[in-house]
Chains A and B, each alone.
Chain A
Amino acid sequence: MTVIAGCGSAIPTSVVTGRSALTIFAAASLADALDAAADPYRSLTGMSYALSTESSTTLRTQIEQGAHADVFLSADTTNPDALAAAGLVDGAIVPFAGNRLAIVVPIDNPAGVTTPFDLGRPGLKVVATGAQVPISTYAATLLERLAALPGAPADLVDGYLANVVSREDNVRTALAKVELGEGDAAIVYASDAAASEGVTTLELPAEANVVAVYAGVVPTTAEAPAAGRAFLDWLAGADGQAILARFGFVAVP
């Protein structure tokens, strides 16, 4: 979790260099893509940004408690919807990316996990995320679809749940525990799997896979709402989409 701007810290919208700076709250899975987008965005607009990346739900709670964010980029539509329902959103909700799921195992794969059906095998150490983290909902859907495939073991879902050894607070820490070899497997986003050099990704049957829809909003706590809106539009536009695609994201379905 890269927290450059802590929650609620006031980033001056106009720093000494004369440049402007945005505060962006983003789902942990967007960290690498947004780091890479910073330079092109600054050369295009003169606008730099400070990123606070965490689980989307934690970020939503921070915004509900008054944390100032010019843009909130969530790994789902539920959290932006909840903010909108609470009257904390300025303008439209913009879906800007899709992300498939992937199953990752450590490179040396000590548990010998070779197919998604192995996830329910007794004794496996699965690192999952807390129920509040968006990917947990997608992962549950993926498991149900996998369990419905021909040849799937009968107890895949129950076996998977029994194998969970930790519920991490965001998807990046779950990935890190597999990279470190502490966990035998984890369900993460395809973008996370692509960004990591410390894991092997298992093939997922396309018909079982789930596409997570990422949506962004400008919260009412924004100090620079117009600049926040401009960033969101840029991210949903051709340039932003090209960078997101490079990091394993797909178009909004």
Chain B
Amino acid sequence: MTRWLAVAAAAILTAFLALPVVTLVGRALASGELVRAIGSEAVVAALRLSLVSTAASLGLIVAFGTPLAFLLARRRFRGSGLVETVVDLPLVLPPSVAGLALLLVFGRRGLVGESLDALGLAIPFTTVAVVLAQVFVAAPFYVRAARAGIAGVPRDLEDAARADGASESGVVRHVIVPLALPALAAGLVMSWARSLGEFGATILFAGNFAGRTQTLPLVVYSELGSADLDAAIAAATVLVIAAVGVLAAVRLARRGRALDLASAG
């Protein structure tokens, strides 16, 4: 009896999680408008902007996040707990809060934005603002995964490499990064997915302008307002496809790590 109840509860939750997404995609396919709607000007412009902005965000996240992950994985220092909390904070903050906070820092009257504005650099309403919003909300996914991956590399292997005369940068390049690669890749993919889906911080901080700051999630919202449900559903379907692809990629990365450990053992 208990077992039957458990199975029923599990089935209900699974159906609840699957049904909205399946319905959305089903409706997109059934309408026969999917191809036209995906090819519409708003969706194409948003797709391009989403790809460009998330690529830039990922570049920044890797460039600044990898050293941070190394530091957190390999060094205990005064305030490291605080740094970890700072890194985790965007994960639990509502994106609208992130958007407002970014505006208060980088807005034209903001802490940093005011000086930038004096130099003729305005960030709000530009693609730069889109990228900053994405980096803010998505960086934690990469930093956390990278930190765990780097911490999981056995010290013996590093020491062995050093004993064989490898330099510190050689140890990083030829031992740590290759062994942590599945974790780095998984973190990167999750980070990309979060960037791609970013909505609240973007619309508050970057505004909503086709081709400049209107990413795919903003199209879903805007087209809903224009009563063009087909375009909203098309943009949403593109995001669903991207999300499914992300999960498949993460699974592949995990399997890669499992194989590595198996061959190492």
Contact = CB atoms under 8 A, between A and B. Distances in A.
Interface in A81-139: 82, 110, 125, 127, 130-133
A64 B229 CA distance: 11
Given A177-B207, A181-B109, A166 B125 contact: yes
Given A166-B207, A180-B103, A180-B107, A131 B125 contact: no
A105 B228 CA distance: 32
B125 A169 contact: no
B229 A165 contact: no
Nearest to B122: A125
Contact of A58 (B203, B213, B225): B225
Contacts of B222: 130, 132, 167, 169
Given A166-B125, A166-B213, A182-B103, A127 B227 contact: no
Interface residues of B, number: 22
Given A166-B207, A167-B208, A177-B207, A61 B103 contact: no
A200 to B, nearest CB: 16
A60 interface: yes
A135 to B, nearest CB: 13
B124 interface: yes
Contact of A180 (B109, B210, B225): B109
Contacts of B107: 180-182
Contacts of A131: 226
B224 A181 contact: no
Q: Which of B103, B124, B225 has most A Cβ within 10 Å? A: B225
Given A180-B107, A180-B109, A133 B209 contact: no
B125 A167 contact: no
Contacts of A180: 103, 107, 109
B125 A64 contact: no
Contacts of B64: none
B227 A132 contact: yes
B108 interface: yes
A113 B27 CA distance: 48
A110 B120 CA distance: 13
Contact of A165 (B109, B125, B225): B125
Nearest to B226: A132
B226 A125 contact: no
Nearest to B223: A132
A55 B208 contact: no
Contacts of A54: 225
B125 A57 contact: no
Central interface residue in B207, B208, B213, B229, by most chain A CB within 10 Å: B207
A182 B207 CA distance: 10
Nearest to A55: B225
A33 to B, nearest CB: 22
8 contacts: A58-B224, A61-B227, A82-B227, A130-B225, A132-B227, A167-B222, A182-B107, A182-B108
Interface of A: 54-55, 57-58, 60-61, 64, 82, 110, 125, 127, 130-133, 164-169, 177, 180-182
The 4 closest A-B pairs by CB, nearest first: A166-B207, A132-B226, A165-B125, A58-B225
Given A125-B122, A167-B209, 6 more contacts: A132-B227, A166-B208, A166-B209, A167-B208, A169-B221, A182-B108
